[in-house]
Structure 1
Amino acid sequence: MSREFWRRRSLRVRDDQRTKAAELTLRDSLYPICLVTILFFLWGFSYGLLDTLNKHFQTTLDLNKARSSGLQVAYFGAYPLASLGHAAWILRHFGYRAVFIWGLFLYGLGALLAIPAIMHHSFAGFCVCIFIIGNGLGSLETAANPYITVCGPPKFSEIRINLAQAFNGIGTVVAPVLGSYVFFVFDDETALRNVQWVYLAIACFVFLLAGVFYLSVIPEITDADMAYQAAETHADAADRPFRKQYRLFHAAFAQFCYTGAQVAIASYFINYANETRPDTDPALASKFLAGSQAGFAIGRFGGAALMHFVKPRIVFGVFMTMCIVFGAPAITQRGDAGMSMLYVVMLFESICFPTIVALGMRGLGRHTKRGSGWIVAGVFGGACVPPLMGAAADLHGTGFAMVVPVCFFLGSWTYVLAVNFVPSYRDTVDAFSTTDVGLREREDGVVEAHDGGAVSKGDMETGVADGNKPGVVNMEKA
């Protein structure tokens, strides 16, 4: 009994085997999706806390805007190291659950190390800790975004990831509200002490959650499962070598531009409100940021609902276009008008990140795990764009500096045009939106395979299938 208990919780997975994960129904995927969604809240909270600390450290440590963006550079600069390096290696050699545990461990370690850095008022030390946390969160995003996308019927993948990311939005609301009450209303020493307690609580929670992931039995989705899904949709997109997956690299570029713009706006929102709106102190501006993040979260719920009736690529196109339309006036407008423009921009930003992930992974098949790392690596834009905006803000003010994120929104818009109007992009995306894989099970408890064979659910659940069984994808041929 004990041996079976630990065998079922093994972290090693064979990617050349089909499992039942390729045909998970909505009911089968409910528990793992709920568990992984907790991770989305965690990095939303961490991201929102970072935006608040950006302004807090400007005040307490006497930093200019460009230097305070070191937090964003450390945080998002860690993402490529995780998504293309250590997390990608663990994902391909072990599986999703192993990456979840690894990411949570790094997150907790960084949070614990942040406490002595804060005690010694070391901004450089705190940036190192944020870099470790960024590696943890980059690992979690490398696994969680594709897992949510592929865990369940592929027809609803954009809806699933946007609903899960909505809890990320809730985390970004909670963090600024917390910051407005525990950072800005106390003297500097008390505020820094409160930051220490926040990071201690984070560390305790994530270590506990890592234990829950280890003890939980959740479906592992293999490369063979993804090759099966790609074949079933008849998208004809997965047979090319990885270097020729040009749609993937375009999605990664769009993610770089979009994430950079989003992070830059959120990072300097408090500065924008403080400078352009009369009688707005940092505490009040932090509450305004929380309000804009609430609109961000609402937008994700609303966008996910719209995708049930309108093709996700069309919803994505409208939302990204509105980011540009309303972002441009924020460059010249001031006071309530300018801040209102940013509120609307953050509402329409809501679905862009997760939808780029979902659309960019369409048709990757056996390249899904590797490809997801490239899209998540696009988050590195969050390390590049804020310093540019910070330098512009130091020279010309935060209002005029809004020209920087608007330019990067335009870069991301190239993917919007491609996915809606270029046939090779559009047809692959639409093929996955109409497939019925995972929507129903055969009454005899057997799931059909694309090569004409069949695999019993029992074999799929236990993972005993091998390359000689009918219905199992041989990855050398895939």
Structure 2
Amino acid sequence: MGFFKKPTLRNRDDKRTRAAELTLRESIYPLCLVTILFFLWGFSYGLIDTLNKHFQVTLGITRSRSSGLQAAYFGAYPLASLGHANWLLRHYGYKACFMWGLFLYGVGALLAWPCLVYKSFGGFCAATFVIGNGLGALETAANPYLAVCGPPRYSEIRINVAQAFNGVGTVVAPVLASYVFFNNVGTDDNALKNVQWTYLAIACFVFALAVVYYFSPIPEITDADMAFQAESTHAGTDVKPFRKQYRLFHATFAQFCYTGAQVAIAGAFINYVTETRVINGVRTSNSDASRFLAGAQGAFTLGRFAGSALMKFVKPRWVFLVFMSMCIILLIPSITGRGNTGMSMLYLVLFFESIIFPTIVALGMRGLGKYSKRGSGFIVAGVSGGAVVPPLLFVASDAQGQPDYAGHAPTATAMSVPLAFFVAAWTYTACVNFVPAYRNVADSFSTTEIGIANAHANDPENQGGVLGAEAGKDGAPALTEAVGNEKRI
């Protein structure tokens, strides 16, 4: 009866736990609970993409100014992942970081209410910054948690499946927006009323979810657990100082470039469609473009499930290489394409974008051992690319003037900006597949039997070692071994 136990929010990182060798069955409950978070920030991200265009129409602001939403949202990530959230993760653990992120998310959603009432775009950007801090905290904990919670061999598959539910959230948000937000387009007092209620509902839900997390017994994976996994697979690089973890820093750079390109494309999608898709002289409406965005996000979600399935039979690094390469190849014709052709190219780009973010997280954390929590903060900080690339794209678009719907589409031409960032991110993909120092670490984790064969064979309690508290009945692992000769707790 885990809900009736006294919850704890502080855990020691220098202690081995049973979580180092969790089996598939033992990892199901915590993974399901964490997967809910992926839907939440997918939904929030989908709303931001849609509100970008909605604010252009409702408040009469330029495309480049509307990108302030993305700048506020993703600009908060480094503050969370390298600052408060990472400190909380390293000193208190995953559960505390989850709850902190949900709390900030709820507070930001509540702050959005008066900003929407008074049509304050700057105020809404500030509320979005608070939401971004909450989501940054959740990603700082959730992505590495999925990467390490369960057999290491299936790390990339786990995180991609969970991220697929992120994609579900990005599909639901534009569909909701197309029927709710764009029904009251104008400058009167009702233009943003439905948006207000949406954010109030979000606040109520995330506060309730924080309470569920407080009472739920979830395994805490410690630095000592990660050091054990790295040592057991003979792929540990944590014997080197943190400053020499060059694979991690390259993964962070790739995450910055890739996320910036992804966010720029999604944020400009509605503008792209309304500018380029003119059928029989009729320009595509904002609400129809929002529904097309939902379809594109559906392709993105389908790609996550398809990519996860492929990783069961093909090494994840090869799937990663193909998907990243296809993003570059397919984005090129979208720059000159018009009508359904150009939009179809973006659909395919989103399909192949699907597995890239979570795969960079999983591969970038390989072999970090005791540096895993600290390293996850750097990789998640790479999400801040979403605050840099969209403004660059929209500035490039605004510089070309207004579309004439007869071939001149500024947003389409500006797609060359995310293309350049895709190419930069591809350098990490190439290293993971063709540079031995990268490739050998990734492959050693792909073949390990930890958590699959002889599960918990290395637990001290199975070997007559020093015992800590017994494991909880509901799958909550207890502390079992000290690293060194410290006393048990």
Per the TM superposition, whether the score is higher than 0.5 is yes
Separation in 2, partners of 1:211, 1:137: 17
2:440 to 427, 438, 442: 427
Q: Give the equivalent residue in structure 1 for 2:377.
A: 373
**Cα shift at 1:236:** 3.8
Separation in 1, partners of 2:421, 2:256: 9
Q: Give the equivalent residue in structure 1 for 2:124.
A: 126
1:462 to 458, 466, 478: 478
Cα distance per residue 1:420-459 (max 9 Å; x no partner): 00000000000000000011345xx75357xx98577965
Q: Give the equivalent residue in structure 1 for 2:138.
A: 140
CA 1:215–1:448: 2 relative to 1, 3 Å: closer
SS at match of 1:220: coil
**Cα shift at 1:395:** 1.7
Where in structure 2 are there 5+ consecutive unaligned residues?
401-409, 472-476
| Contact 1:459 1:465 (C-alpha < 8 Å) held by counterparts | no
1:287 to 271, 284, 291: 291
Cα distance per residue 1:385-438 (max 9 Å; x no partner): 000000011123101000000000000000010000000000000000000001
Separation in 2, partners of 1:12, 1:161: 25
How many residue pairs get matched?
Answer: 466
Separation in 2, partners of 1:249, 1:467: 28
Separation in 1, partners of 2:467, 2:362: 29
Cα distance per residue 1:219-253 (max 9 Å; x no partner): 00000000000001011422111000000000000
Q: Give the equivalent residue in structure 2 for 1:395.
A: 399
Cα distance per residue 1:140-191 (max 9 Å; x no partner): 0000000001000000000000000000000000000000001112243334
**Cα shift at 1:300:** 0.2
Alignment pair present for 1:33 and 2:55: no
2:359 to 351, 355, 360: 355
Q: Give the equivalent residue in structure 2 for 1:15.
A: 13
Alignment pair present for 1:194 and 2:207: no
Counterpart amino acid of residue 307 in structure 1: M
Where in structure 1 are there 5+ consecutive unaligned residues?
473-478
CA 1:468–1:262: 2 relative to 1, 3 Å: closer
Q: Give the equivalent residue in structure 1 for 2:458.
A: 447
CA 1:255–1:12: 2 relative to 1, 3 Å: same
Alignment of 1:216-227 (within 5 A): 216-227=216-227
| Contact 2:2 2:216 (C-alpha < 8 Å) held by counterparts | no
Q: Give the equivalent residue in structure 2 for 1:113.
A: 111
Alignment of 1:22-421 (within 5 A): 22-188=20-186, 189-278=189-278, 279-396=283-400, 397-421=410-434
How large is the Cα RMSD of the aligned pairs?
2.0
**Cα shift at 1:5:** 2.2
CA 1:305–1:4: 2 relative to 1, 3 Å: closer
| Contact 1:82 1:88 (C-alpha < 8 Å) held by counterparts | yes
**Cα shift at 1:367:** 0.2
Separation in 2, partners of 1:4, 1:202: 27
Counterpart amino acid of residue 181 in structure 2: F
| Contact 1:19 1:459 (C-alpha < 8 Å) held by counterparts | no
SS at match of 2:482: coil
| Contact 1:20 1:457 (C-alpha < 8 Å) held by counterparts | no
| Contact 1:233 1:432 (C-alpha < 8 Å) held by counterparts | yes
Please give the TM-score of this superposition, normalised by the length of structure 2.
Answer: 0.92
Separation in 1, partners of 2:3, 2:417: 57
Separation in 1, partners of 2:20, 2:467: 13
Separation in 2, partners of 1:300, 1:80: 25
SS at match of 1:253: helix
